[in-house]
Structure 1
C-alpha cells in the first residue's frame, strides 16, 4: 500500500503544478484493476474520488488494456 500512497503524493504534486501551468489539461493516475478494487471500492477510496481532484485510468495488468476512465 506504500506504493499507492507514494503514487498519490506524486499525483497531487503534478496536479498542482499542471493546474497552474496548463489549466486545460487533465491528469490521470493509472492503476491496476486489483488496486482499484482494493482501495477505491472502500469508503476511504470513495472519498478520494468524490472530491473530483483525482482522475483514474484503470487497467488490466495481464492484458495491459484500459478497462475504465474515471474523470
Structure 2
C-alpha cells in the first residue's frame, strides 16, 4: 500500500468539514487488464469522496521538493492518466488536484502554469493545511 502524502490527513479533514463523505482511501482504479492505479505516486494518495450525489477523486501533491516544475510535470502526467482511467471505469467521478494555498499563490500563479492548467483542464482543490479547510475549488 502506498505511503500517505504529508498533507493527506489535512485534506481528508478539510473534505469532511466541507460535508464530503470519504468513500475510498485510497481510490483503486483498474485501467486495463494490465494497468491498475491507486491514483497516487511517490507516496501520494488519492481520496474518493461523495456529496449530494457528486463523486470526486482527489490527488494530493505537496510540491515541497527542490523543483516545483519537475513536480508539476509528474503531477500533470498523473492527472491526465487518472482522468482517462476514471473515464473508463468511474466516469461519474471528477478528479481534482489538491494543493496548498501557498503552492497555488507561489507557483500556480505563473502564467505558463496557468496556461497548462487551463489547456489540460486540471481541476484544482486549494486548501489550507494548518486550518484543514478548503479555500477554493477551481474548475
TM-score normalized by the length of structure 2: 0.45
- Map 1:6-45 onto structure 2 (within 5 A): 6-45=74-113
Structure 1 vs Structure 2 CA RMSD: 1.7
TM-superposed deviation, 1:7: 2.6
Unaligned runs of at least 5 residues, structure 1 = none
Deviating runs (4+, > 4 A) in structure 1?
Answer: none
1:31-54, CA deviations, whole angstroms, 9 ceiling, x for partnerless residues?
A: 011111122211112112322520
Q: Are residues 1:49 and 2:117 paired?
A: yes
TM-score normalized by the length of structure 1: 0.80
- Name which one, 1 or 2, has greater alpha-carbon Rg: 2
Unaligned runs of at least 5 residues, structure 2 = 1-67
Q: Which has the higher helix share?
A: 1
Moved more, 31-40 or 46-55: 46-55
SS in 1 for 2:121: coil
Q: Which has the higher strand share?
A: 2
SS in 1 for 2:126: strand
